[in-house]
Structure 1
Amino acid sequence: MAQPEVALAESGTLAAFGFGAGTSDNDDPRWLRVALESFDAPAPIELWQVDAPVVCGRQNDVRWSAGGGWLFVAIEVDEQMAGGIEHAAHHAYAALRQFMGTRNERHVLRIWNYIGDINRGDGDAERYKQFCDGRAAGLGDFFATGFPAATAIGHHDRQRTLQIYLLASLDAGQAVENPRQTSAWRYPRQYGRTSPGFARAMLMPARDVLAISGTAAVVGHASAHEGNVEAQLSETLTNLEALLTSAGMPAGFDTHSPLKAYVRHATDAGRVRDILQQRLPGVPVLLMHGDVCRSELLVELDGWRYA
């Protein structure tokens, strides 16, 4: 079982994350148990650290920590209490927007969203599309000058809790798009009333680290290789290389570039692991059981690339 106390006691810990039901709870605002199960046992703790003293606290539903010009913010909303996923997303993003207005670290660089039963429902009633509607309503014009990098993945926790957390900074990053893909905010109407708002990646303020958004087998705006997890994974890796080129980063990933792979079907996890070990030897990849935001997509990757 992942124990948060040791990680939280380390100097400069901005945030720490455990994964799955076997992870301990802790009242420290910097600790978050992510409602995704890992195919790796025991699942490691993800640790964010800064070279500076860290302060932390809570403001209404928002938990936060700050240090060295960086800011971690998280919020969890019980859908049943909020009245459904759209209302939960509206509440969460309105609260995040209000909180960010009180901070000097106002440049949101990267957001993670974890949503129960993300693909349930048809047409505009699909839960992911309702989440996008509520998110946009809660944000208003907060990202009018440009979107951060982001991930939205479905979890299988029986309690429908919307989990959102973000990384922000005193300084602005540089958004990066993929020339192989339509920008997410320009998706046609078939993908919902409200296009998902995110950049494909974000160069951190020093331009030496690339935060990579959730990336799947999407070419243009269309999903590719329906039903074929191997072909989808290969297309995803091609998209990652295109992102590195757009960001001016060297090709490929190394042992200092951690990734997460979200796999829809547990039966595919072993094959995904084998392919990634072949294609990305030595690269640390955490395999998670998670649903991609389009029901036909079977695998998605995100993570970090250090220059």
Structure 2
Amino acid sequence: MYRKLHYKYATISAQPFEKMLSQLLAELNCTYTPMRMVFFTTISSNSQYVEYLTLIQRMINDKFGTQAPVISLVAQDTLAHVGLAVEIHEMEILASESLLYKKWNNTSYITLHDDSCKRLFLGGIISKDLNQSIAAQSEEVFDTIEAIMEIESMPIYSIVRQWNYIEKITEYNQERQNYQAFNDVRSLFYDQTEWKNGFPAATGIGMDWGGVMIDLNATLAYNADTNITPIDNPLQVAAHAYSQVQLLGKVDERLSHKTTPKFERAKQVIQCGSGVLYVSGTAAIRGELSLQGVGIEEQTRITIENINVLTGKHPLEIIRVYLKNTEELEAAETVISQLYHGVSAIYLQADVCREELLIEIEGVSIITH
């Protein structure tokens, strides 16, 4: 039987943070079981990041008690007159499924399983010290992920969707680019397993503060009723097959070379014929080269063409739009509203993983019989 997934946004105009959060949560109604909530707002320092995250955790626990969703906070400016936004992932839970709310070392997570598969919802994983190097924070975050997945008997290869938020993603620390430092640690973590069904779908995007933060969904198939498939784009070189030319900064001393971003362009998870298609963060890249000097409108159109190759006949239900330059919001929004009319969207300011890229879009398609 098909389990419907639901994705939506809730937003509120700019006010003092606690007031925005209180009002947003007071007005928030979840029709189904909330599994994940991702909050986006402007943040001015790492100390403020921790302050806001602590407040969110407290107010979410007050609202949901022992059945709180997995939560995370992303330090990205919300655009289009929004002060605070939350992306909500809900699921219809069937009587045949076991839903459990768990905690390990102060990290909350959710498991859901039935006869066909086991799912893990894990998020908001950050370092205890946001002032460490990106490499050190990445190692700590992946250690937490590994510990929880081992407890749950979920192999690393069962990760199907991963969101990687990296503070000041394109900046350098002692000749090492932050994004490359993260990619090298991710590669060392991923090298512990064999990825028979491809790497996860993923987004690697900048944020102003918060160090390194990861959200993920994992699905472990028990039988042929659940099928997990990577989706490739023939117009693009797979990210995990990029040449060394695209990888910036100094080589990690533990490695013989800089490692590629380990993700698929999209990942499909189907249970009994229906399910979800996760579209990775997608930009105006053809082959492995960025389209430079063409402007925001053309980069947006090429990005959407790349996404449409991945989604095929399955329409997008929701998208996130990351813009490098806030002044290009109107131009990007015009193109997106024409090509993705009626699709729920949120616009955020964030550095994309390559300096020359002006926009990145990710999304979700729901696949039904």
Contact 1:261 1:288 (C-alpha < 8 Å) held by counterparts: yes
Q: Does 1:202 align with 2:271?
A: no
- Rounded to whole Å, the distance in 1 between the matches of 2:290 and 2:105 is 39
Amino acid at match of 1:45: V
Amino acid at match of 1:46: E
Partner of 2:252: none
Q: 1:143 to 1:302 in 2, by over 3 A?
A: farther
Contact 1:7 1:13 (C-alpha < 8 Å) held by counterparts: no
Partner of 2:38: 17
Identity fraction in percent? 24
Match of 1:102 among 151, 155, 161: 151
Q: Secondary structure at the match of 1:25?
A: helix
For structure 2, list consecutive stretches of 5 or more residues without a partner in the other structure.
1-19, 44-51, 62-68, 222-226, 248-257
Q: Does 1:65 align with 2:110?
A: yes
Please give the residue correspondences for 1:85-164 in structure 2 after superposition, counting only pairs within 5 Å: 85-104=134-153, 106=155, 107-121=158-172, 125-142=176-193, 144-145=195-196, 146-157=198-209, 160-164=210-214
Contact 1:92 1:138 (C-alpha < 8 Å) held by counterparts: no
Q: Which moved more, 1:121-130 or 1:194-203?
A: 121-130
- Rounded to whole Å, the distance in 2 between the matches of 1:143 and 1:281 is 40
CA deviations 1:260-283 (Å, max 9, x no partner) are: 110001111121111111221111
Q: CA deviation at 1:181?
A: 0.6
- Rounded to whole Å, the distance in 2 between the matches of 1:285 and 1:202 is 20
Amino acid at match of 1:116: E
Q: Does 1:284 align with 2:344?
A: yes
Q: Which moved more, 1:189-198 or 1:97-106?
A: 97-106
Contact 1:124 1:130 (C-alpha < 8 Å) held by counterparts: no
Q: Secondary structure at the match of 2:307?
A: helix
Q: Does 1:183 align with 2:238?
A: yes
Q: CA deviation at 1:168?
A: 1.4
CA deviations 1:40-61 (Å, max 9, x no partner) are: 4254422122223643232126
- Rounded to whole Å, the distance in 2 between the matches of 1:143 and 1:18 is 33
Match of 1:34 among 60, 69, 74: 74
Amino acid at match of 2:100: V
Partner of 2:313: 250
Contact 1:90 1:137 (C-alpha < 8 Å) held by counterparts: no
Q: 1:229 to 1:130 in 2, by over 3 A?
A: same
Q: CA deviation at 1:10?
A: 6.4
Q: 1:175 to 1:294 in 2, by over 3 A?
A: same
- Rounded to whole Å, the distance in 1 between the matches of 2:294 and 2:172 is 20
Q: Secondary structure at the match of 1:113?
A: strand
Partner of 1:50: 91
Partner of 1:305: 365
Match of 2:279 among 212, 224, 235: 212
Structure number with higher strand proportion = 2
Partner of 2:322: 262
Q: Which has the larger radius of gyration?
A: 2
Amino acid at match of 1:14: M
Give the TM-score taking structure 2 as reference length. 0.73
- Rounded to whole Å, the distance in 1 between the matches of 2:37 and 2:27 is 10
Q: Secondary structure at the match of 1:173?
A: strand
Q: Secondary structure at the match of 2:192?
A: coil
- Rounded to whole Å, the distance in 1 between the matches of 2:245 and 2:204 is 18
